[in-house]
């Protein structure tokens, strides 16, 4: 098996799980998950056969779920939960489910909510933890945001581990995106260096759905659902004026999943501009010409643009970083808006431009039904894995099965829209947008 995909463990599991399920098939009761159960990465029959014929073990992920024997003794276990980075629908659902599973399934009674992200671990910030119980978290899933608060940016790893030691924490659930998980990996490594028995469990949170080897991240569906509604509004704005042009800027720093999915859900969109695509504005195949042709034919147009698209237009500013260490991007939406206005004015086409930047609106609402369910199951599986002594891992989802994988794999690179895949092709079919808006050189 590919060693890179083996999840680290703290040691041998010798304690009988308090969970009452089964070990035999056919008795109508769910079974404990065996350590060797794994989920295939690629469901292509040809690929799997080819791998096996070559003597290769096909790429796979550990299957998540409750274990018959666990590592931590529930009565003595102390748990911390922290939420980092930007808001995302479902944060409270995840917190709630971690607390409820720890409390009701494992009878763990000491669960601490760290306030305002990793900053809450730094003593000088003077941020008390919150004791979490089922009563306290009972209704939080109806609220957007995070009941623990959040912050961007990492904090000194040694201070975080000092705090974990001081509080005698056994399990830390770190709910956050790429930066947070890199931070969690550093914490995991420091813990290993100090030879501590603390499990670091990552629950990936990325509204952009851009975590590697993870099919779907919580909150993403809620987010593109909200985006769909805003695109519908924008469509009415575009149609409401002669040569009306509506531009909606959507989240998506490096990956255009929100824009692509929202456009598939809302058939009103005519053009989708995402970070993964190269395109020209000018020239015979360029976007401005394509746009003009449509405008002269239909007299209205709706454009969805991901915030990270077209950064090649802003080469000079690439070195600026924000608090999380992310590259600061220029505003592609305003850039395109101004370029369209300039171009159409130049060719004498009257028009009416409406620019909509819903920004935080996409991320601060509560989770929708499907995300609520997903958050519940993610948290459930993260709890079982952590209690079984897994560490340095994230819980994920692949081919509709819940999986565990090393943080290092999840953060190795960002998942992006593959322009050669069926998602993007469906977007092209839905919008009628050309395969390429690039002039040949």
DSSP 361-406: GGTSSPP-HHHHHHHHHHHHHHHHHHHTTB-SEEEEEETTEEEEEE
Q: Contact at 8 Å (CB) between 373 and 99?
A: no
Single out the residue of 2, 14, 23, 44 in contact with a second copy (rule: CB under 8 A). 44
Residue closer to a second copy by CB (options 145, 179) is 145
Binders of a second copy among residues 51 to 90 (CB under 8 A) are 52, 57-58, 60, 63, 65, 87
Q: Which of residues 101-140 bind a second copy (CB under 8 A)?
A: 101, 104-105, 115-116, 119, 127, 139
> Among residues 190, 210, 221, 254, which is the contact residue for a second copy, using CB under 8 A?
221
The answer to whether the beta carbons of residues 305 and 249 sit under 8 Å apart is yes
Query: Site residues for a second copy, window 338-367 (CB under 8 A)?
Result: 352, 354-361, 364-365
Of 10, 84, 114, 141, which lies in the binding site for a second copy, with binding defined by CB under 8 A?
Answer: 141
Quick one: tokens of 190? Answer: 């420091």
- Six token digits for residue 422: 């069926």
Q: Hey, is 200 helix, strand or coil? A: strand
- Contact characters 380-419, a second copy, x per CB under 8 A: x------------------xxxx----------------x
CA separation, residue 138 to residues 78, 95, 128, 148, 430 (Å): 20, 10, 21, 14, 41
How far CA 368 is from CA of 19, 64, 74, 150, in Å, comes to 29, 24, 32, 21
Min dist CB 114 to a second copy, Å, is 12
Tokens of 24: 């035999």
Residue 280 binds to a second copy (criterion: CB under 8 A): no
> Of 30 and 313, which has the nearer Cβ to a second copy?
30
Distance in Å, CB of 380 to a second copy, minimum: 6
Q: Which of 27, 135, 138, 208 is catalytic?
A: 208
Catalytic residue list contains 57: no
Binding part of the chain for a second copy, among 241-249, 279-287, 335-343, 409-417 by CB under 8 A, reads 241-249
Interacting residues with a second copy between 144 and 173 (CB under 8 A): 144-146, 149-151
Residue 143 found at the interface with a second copy (CB under 8 A): yes
Q: Is 372 in the site for a second copy (CB under 8 A)?
A: yes
Phi first, then psi: give them for residue 256, nearest 5 degrees: -95, 30
Stretch that binds a second copy, among 179-187, 258-266, 280-288, 329-337 (CB under 8 A): 258-266
Cβ nearer to a second copy, comparing 90 with 200: 90
Contacts of 156 (CB under 8 A, 6+ apart): 122
Query: What does the alpha-carbon distance between residue 191 and residue 160 come to, in Å, rounded to a whole number?
Result: 10
Calculate the alpha carbon distances from 415 to 3, 210, 321, 394 in Å: 21, 4, 21, 15
Calpha distance 56→54 (Å, rounded):
5
CB 400, min distance to a second copy, A: 6
Residues 4-43 that bind a second copy (CB under 8 A): 20-22, 25-31, 36-40, 43
List residues with catalytic annotation: 208
């Amino acid at each position: 098996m590919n060693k890179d995909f083996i999840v680290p463990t703290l040691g041998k599991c010798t304690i009988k799980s308090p969970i009452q399920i089964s070990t035999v098939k056919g008795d109508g009761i769910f079974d404990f998950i065996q350590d060797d159960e794994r989920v295939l990465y690629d469901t292509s029959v040809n690929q799997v056969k080819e791998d096996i014929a070559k003597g290769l073990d096909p790429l796979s992920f550990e299957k998540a779920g409750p274990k018959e024997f666990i590592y931590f003794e529930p009565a003595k276990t102390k748990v911390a939960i922290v939420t980092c980075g930007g808001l995302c629908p479902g944060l409270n659902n995840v917190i709630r489910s971690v607390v409820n599973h720890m409390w009701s399934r494992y009878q763990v009674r000491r669960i601490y909510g760290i306030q305002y992200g990793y900053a809450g671990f730094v003593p000088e910030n003077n941020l008390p933890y919150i004791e979490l119980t089922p009563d306290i978290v009972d209704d939080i899933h109806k609220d957007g945001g995070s009941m623990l608060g959040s912050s961007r940016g990492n904090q000194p790893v040694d201070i975080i581990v000092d705090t974990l030691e001081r509080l005698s924490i056994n399990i830390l659930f770190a709910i956050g995106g790429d930066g947070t998980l890199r931070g969690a990996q550093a914490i995991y490594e420091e813990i290993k260096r100090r030879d501590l028995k603390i499990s670091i469990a990552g629950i990936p949170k990325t509204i952009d759905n851009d975590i590697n080897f993870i099919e779907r991240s919580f909150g993403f569906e809620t987010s593109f659902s909200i985006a769909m509604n805003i695109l519908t509004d924008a469509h009415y704005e575009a149609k409401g004026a002669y040569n009306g042009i509506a531009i909606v800027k959507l989240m998506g720093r490096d990956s255009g999943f929100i824009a692509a999915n929202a456009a598939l859900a809302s058939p009103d969109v005519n053009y989708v501009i995402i970070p993964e695509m190269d395109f020209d504005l000018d020239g015979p195949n360029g976007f401005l010409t394509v746009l003009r042709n449509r405008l002269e034919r239909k007299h209205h147009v709706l454009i969805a643009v991901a915030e990270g698209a077209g950064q090649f237009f802003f080469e000079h500013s690439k070195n600026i970083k924000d608090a999380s260490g992310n590259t600061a991007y220029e505003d592609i939406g305003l850039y395109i808006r101004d370029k369209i206005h300039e171009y159409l004015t130049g060719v004498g086409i009257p028009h009416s431009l409406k620019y909509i930047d819903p920004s935080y609106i996409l991320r601060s609402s509560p989770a929708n039904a499907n995300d609520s369910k997903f958050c519940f199951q993610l948290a459930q599986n993260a709890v079982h894995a952590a209690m079984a002594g897994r560490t340095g891992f994230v819980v994920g989802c692949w081919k509709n099965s819940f999986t565990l994988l090393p943080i290092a794999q999840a953060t190795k690179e960002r998942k992006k829209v593959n322009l050669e895949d069926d998602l993007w092709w469906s977007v092209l079919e839905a919008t009628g947008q050309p395969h390429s808006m690039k002039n040949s050189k």
